[in-house]
Copies of this chain bind each other. A is one copy, B any other.
Amino acid sequence: MTRITLDITMSLDGFAAGPEPSMEEPLGKRGEELHEWVFGLAAWRSAHGMEGGESGPDADLVAEHIASYGAVVMGRRMFSGGAGPWDTDTNARGWWGDDPPFHVPVFVLTNHQRESLEMQGGTTFHFVTDGIEAALDRAAEAAGDRDVHVAGGADVVQQALNAGRFDELTVHVAPIFLGSGTRLFDGIDGRRVKLEPVPMPASAAVTHLRYRVVR
């Protein structure tokens, strides 16, 4: 049974990205610090084509997450690394290099219809112009019996939440204050989205929150 899941990191003050995103800093100023907990983990390094790394409960969670999904949904800015004009190189090929770390079909929400883009390593980007529900439906079809992972950015997460489409949310709270930037959760309809906490292992690097969404 395909579930729709979130797995994302936010700062303690609720930001999924810092201010002033650019080609050099697609996650905004200090946004990279959000993900420091993950860069050294074996499971993350392996998905990004690197060897070695740490094991432990954090690495187990990341490995479990990577193994769980059969398709990804993301926004256009996440695809292209925040780049502006559509005709630049990163908009043509995406920000993720020739062998993106997803290794499954990725459905990109955009206003611009274009051909699918087959990359190395199993990642194919498909471009969806008819909204979040259509993107989630197409991803669910492609995922087989695995999950659909909504990767971000914040606007895509908020659209999927307010559409009532999530089955499970995992939020990693990084022990930093960004002060400003893009809020992960803004304008969520709390009367519509009911959550049930799932106890998670403690970590010294980050706090893992997980919720089942109650229908």
Contact = CB atoms under 8 A, between A and B. Distances in A.
Assembly stoichiometry (copies): 2
A205 interface: yes
A190 B204 contact: no
Range class of the A interface residue count? 35 or more
A199 B203 CA distance: 6
B14 A190 contact: no
Interface in A166-215: 171, 173, 175-180, 183-190, 193, 195-197, 199-200, 202-207, 209, 211
A171 to B, nearest CB: 7
A155 interface: no
A206 B197 contact: yes
Contact of A177 (B177, B188, B205, B207): B188
16 contacts: A12-B185, A13-B14, A13-B183, A13-B188, A175-B195, A175-B196, A176-B190, A177-B188, A177-B190, A178-B190, A179-B187, A179-B189, A180-B187, A197-B206, A197-B207, A199-B204
Contacts of A14: 13-14, 183, 185
Nearest to A214: B175
Contacts of A187: 179-180
A73 to B, nearest CB: 20
A181 to B, nearest CB: 10
